[in-house]
Amino acid sequence: MADNKNLRRHFWQAAHLFVENAVTNNIVLIQALGLCPIIAAGTTLKNGVTLTVCTAIVLVPLSFFIALVGNYLAKWLRPAIYVLLAAVLLGATGYVLGTYISPELYARLYLFIPLMAVNMLYTRSVGLSTWVNPLATVVDALGSTLGFGMVICLISAIREMAISNTLWDIPVQLPLTLSEATIPFTAFVLLGFMSALLQWCRQRVSAYFHRKEADEE
């Protein structure tokens, strides 16, 4: 019985960490990271999804790897190993995207993939100091990636529909197009609305998970 209670408590703690990184401490809306790719490249849903997937491919395995072996590495060596592995994963991701999936997508995004990934890697304390629980690092990385993905995909979808009346290159029936949606100011306006909505959600989400964790104490 006690084991089940501890399991439930750990579940709610992990869920709280995931939602906290994805929503209440969203890496874009709270920490203002990844703005350049969102503003410059977030004009189609394909771009947004591609950048999100590339982030996950780099961030999740790196976080797990460092959590497993970081304690066995000297502190001065951890950043160098982290950067080296990130470069290998980024290079492999870019090669697969440009060679086997879509050379056109890679041509549009090759400047933003490393920039966006490095921005997110820079914020992850897991890169330079280790977590006790490797699972927590994966939850942390997934939450941060999802938070970035939700913002860039939503903004990219809205801008694509406004610019060309398409979504994922599929025509949609809208009464008009707004070519002005291509300019960065549009992304800033959308980010402003999303930030305001986030402030409204933060207290409610945090209070919910704190209550759930307290119930399992």
Q: Which of 111, 107, 85 is nearest to 97 (CA)?
A: 107
Residue 171 pairs with which residues in a beta bridge?
Answer: 166
Predicted pLDDT at 75: 75
Cα 49 from Cα 58, distance rounded (Å) = 14
Per-domain residue ranges for the chain? 33-160+175-211
Q: What are phi and psi of 201, to 5 degrees?
A: -80, -25
Written as one letter, the residue type at 85 is: L
Tokens of 92: 């492999």
Instruction: Name the residue with tokens 């759930």.
Output: 212
Q: What are phi and psi of 142, to 5 degrees?
A: -65, -40
Predicted pLDDT at 4: 61
* Residue pLDDT, tens place only, 139-160: 878 888 888 888 889 999 999 9
Predicted pLDDT at 81: 80
- Would you call 16 helix, strand, or coil by DSSP? helix
Strand segments, DSSP code E, in 130-202 are: 166-167, 170-171
Q: Which of 58, 20, 7, 22 is nearest to 153 (CA)?
A: 22
Predicted pLDDT at 194: 82
Do residues 194 and 29 make contact, with C-beta atoms less than 8 angstroms apart? yes
107 Cβ partners below 8 Å, 6+ apart?
98
Measured CA angle at 193 (ends 188, 182), to 5 deg? 35
**Residues of the chain with confidence (pLDDT) below 70:** 1-34, 117-132, 202-203, 205-217
Predicted pLDDT at 214: 63
Q: What are phi and psi of 170, to 5 degrees?
A: -100, 130
Percentage of residues in the chain with pLDDT exceeding 70? 69
Question: What is the b/e burial string over 177-197, where b = at least 16 CB atoms within 10 angstroms of the residue's CB?
Answer: eeeebeeeebbeebbeebeee
Q: Which of 195, 183, 207 is nearest to 23 (CA)?
A: 195
